[in-house]
A and B are shown apart, each in its own frame.
Chain A
Amino acid sequence: MRILEGIRIALQQIWAHKLKSVFTLIGVIIGITFLIAVITIVEGMNRYVQDDFAGAIFGINTFSVVRRNQVQTGSESQEHRRRQARNPYLTMRDVEVVRRAVPDAWRFSYSVDRGFSQVSYNERSRKNIRVIGGSDGYEAMQGWEVAEGRGMSPLDERKSLKVAVIGADIAERLFPNGSPIGKRIRLGSTRLEVVGVWERQGGLLGVIRDASVLVPISTFRETMAWQRNRIEEITVKARSIEEMQASMLEAEAALRRDRKLRPGEDNNFWLQTSSDLLGAWEKINKILFVALPGLVSISLVVGGIVIMNIMLLSVAGRIREIGIRKALGARRQDILFQFLAESSTLSLAGAAIGIGLGIGLGKTVDALTPLPASVPMWSIVVSLVLGLVVGVGSGIYPAYRAAKQDPIVALRYE
């Protein structure tokens, strides 16, 4: 009840001096806005990386054999990196070794690719595309579906046909009015017949699918690769995470045997899973979550000091009121509670504004970028608790000053 009185007075004060209140609360508002916005964006990134990113690149329950580790998380030693650089390139022999090691794999594919190529049709061209030479099953492995025409067939690979399936961006660029199916595009000196266009992936990672051209791996190796024997990636998809882990061990053992590595010797190839990527992200994530409390607490401390000053001014301006309240029977703790309730209400109002602005910022990011920004409930709870802590913390000294006023002196105060 006495706390209600304090809250009522605080709301009255905020309302009576709206502009002053905004300035008073700016520290808290900035701190909480920042907190909510960063948590929202980081959580959004998290979900994005886990659900879309990792899935889009690797898919779940998938592992790849590659020549060397490509995801740098910063924790590898120089030595490890140097050793990795000496790894031999993968070859068709490795493909067969892995294929035999995982006979029960759900999906199996291998590929070569080349970035930063240019594709053209008559006068129109598109730069910075990726040309992939994929084995049969590559599209199924990636989960890419054609929107028009057909996908790669085993026959295309077997006969090294000069055919291509292209991404939606490329189709749009080269064939703005009309279907690309049956048209012959040019990749360097090679002419390829377009047999299909994939569904648009869109979004931040859309470039991977939407700006790619897929040709049969046999065609790629015969006409485009300058190191014909090289394979860049062998990918295995299992039906479950357990199966994937078992298959990965099988593949590793088979490759080690085939390459005649001694026990204790490091692999001269690299097994890559989506967790490598997630690991890199988690690292960034961790840094953010370490830096965040520091930044937020600085602005909250500043915000608390401002509130404390305003509360001291407020106490000084209301000595007479304190005297009246004491004469009417308010005890020290009543006055203490009143001013604590007031500073807490102020600070919580700031936190509430900050939460609103933070959510708004998150929504803006959500609308303008492909990041799914979601405000986690716990961040709102944390913000309100922080607001309360700042309010009580900054109110203690002013409230104590108010509570110890002598009623006789306070009543005569002009």
Chain B
Amino acid sequence: MSVDNDIVIQTHDLKKHYVMGSETVRALRGVDVSIERNEYIAIMGPSGSGKSTLMNLIGCLDTPTSGEYVLNGQPVQDLDDDDLARIRNREIGFVFQTFNLLPRASALHNVELPLIYAGVSSRERIERAKGALEQVDLADRMHHKPNELSGGQRQRVAIARALVNQPSIILADEPTGNLDSVTSEEIMTVFDALHDDGQTIIMVTHEPHITAHAERVITLRDGMIESHDAPRTVRAETV
């Protein structure tokens, strides 16, 4: 394994098999990915290509059937549930298509959540959560509940929540899938700004114009990597 400090994610021959009744589904059939710090990666692929599975593995929500995965210098393929929870808390900031905010909690409390599980004191939590909301321009809405916010604002709260614990990577799963095109662009601008600040971003998407924001596109097909490309080529191919 590489000990290169600039490598954030390194996988080797990553496989994931699911047993569905009598059948074994090979969702990932040996994936090698290497992602450097401050890279902006898009993962593409048709449904069933294994991109959700890869995202779950990278996001430490699941463990591989075989293969190796080193996240920020730490092998994580064999960790148990609680260790994975700790890794998710410290290393990964999730942004979901459906926002996944707690409906009854204020924006501020939603952003505080990862810090609660990190064991940060209440005063520091509020300070840092406010800071993260300022970063996405929502400081004035911090006491609003999700149902009092627009779709774009909700996703910005989710991004603030992903940022608040200063993770190694931001892992976004179709972050603009539930948004109109104007709001989508607005959200993509937020991601661009984060990237400019040095954040590593991995985005799962099937929308070509979204991939245009990325520096590199990984395309999956049938559980294997089909191509590593610069975004423009992908765009040219699919359009």
Contact = CB atoms under 8 A, between A and B. Distances in A.
Interface stretch (A223-231, A317-325, A355-363): A317-325
Interface residues of B, number: 26
Q: Provide the main secondary structure of the chain B interface.
A: helix
Given A331-B82, A408-B56, A12 B113 contact: no
B85 interface: yes
Interface stretch (B35-43, B96-104, B129-137): B96-104
Given A332-B82, A407-B61, A408-B62, A327 B117 contact: no
Given A1-B122, A5-B116, A331 B100 contact: no
Interface in B92-121: 94, 96, 100-102, 104, 113-114, 116-119
Contact of B100 (A5, A330, A411): A411
A401 to B, nearest CB: 15
A329 interface: yes
Contacts of B90: 329
B89 interface: yes
A407 B113 CA distance: 16
A2 interface: yes
Given A324-B100, A408-B56, A331 B118 contact: no
B119 A328 contact: no
B82 A328 contact: no
B209 interface: no
Contact of A408 (B61, B82, B100, B116): B61
Interface string B30-59: 000000000000000000000000001001
A329 B89 contact: yes
B229 interface: no
Nearest to A320: B100
A317 to B, nearest CB: 11
A366 interface: no
Nearest to A321: B102
B116 A1 contact: yes
A325 B86 contact: no
Interface residues of A, number: 22
B81 interface: yes
Given A2-B116, A12-B104, A408-B62, A331 B96 contact: no
A223 to B, nearest CB: 86
Interface in A1-48: 1-2, 5, 12, 16
A326 interface: yes
Contacts of B26: none
Contacts of A324: 100-102, 113
A328 B88 contact: yes
Contact of A328 (B81, B104, B113): B113
A334 interface: yes
A1 B85 CA distance: 18
Main secondary structure of the interface of A (DSSP, over half): helix
A334 to B, nearest CB: 6
B113 A325 contact: yes
Interface string A324-345: 1111111111100000000000
Contacts of A5: 116
B161 interface: yes
A1 B86 CA distance: 17
Which of A320, A326, A327, A407 counts the most chain B CB atoms within 10 A? A327
Contact of A330 (B59, B61, B94, B117): B117
A332 B117 CA distance: 11
Contacts of A334: 85, 117
A329 B56 contact: no
A140 B101 CA distance: 81
B88 A329 contact: yes
A196 B206 CA distance: 107
A325 B85 CA distance: 10
Contacts of A408: 56, 61-62
Interface in B126-170: 161, 165
B74 to A, nearest CB: 15
Contacts of B113: 324-325, 328
A332 B84 CA distance: 11
Nearest to B117: A329
Given A1-B122, A12-B104, A411-B96, A328 B61 contact: no
A329 B85 contact: yes
A330 B88 CA distance: 9
Nearest to A411: B100
B161 A328 contact: yes
A329 B118 contact: yes
A326 B96 contact: no
B86 A331 contact: yes
B81 A332 contact: yes
A39 B59 CA distance: 57
13 contacts: A1-B116, A16-B104, A320-B100, A326-B85, A328-B117, A329-B89, A329-B165, A330-B85, A331-B81, A331-B85, A334-B117, A408-B56, A411-B61
* Top 10 closest pairs, chain A to chain B, by CB: A329-B89, A329-B117, A331-B85, A331-B82, A328-B114, A324-B100, A329-B88, A330-B117, A407-B61, A408-B61
Given A12-B104, A329-B88, 20 more contacts: A1-B116, A2-B116, A5-B116, A323-B100, A324-B113, A326-B85, A327-B59, A327-B61, A327-B100, A328-B89, A328-B113, A328-B114, A329-B89, A329-B90, A329-B114, A329-B118, A332-B81, A332-B82, A334-B85, A411-B100
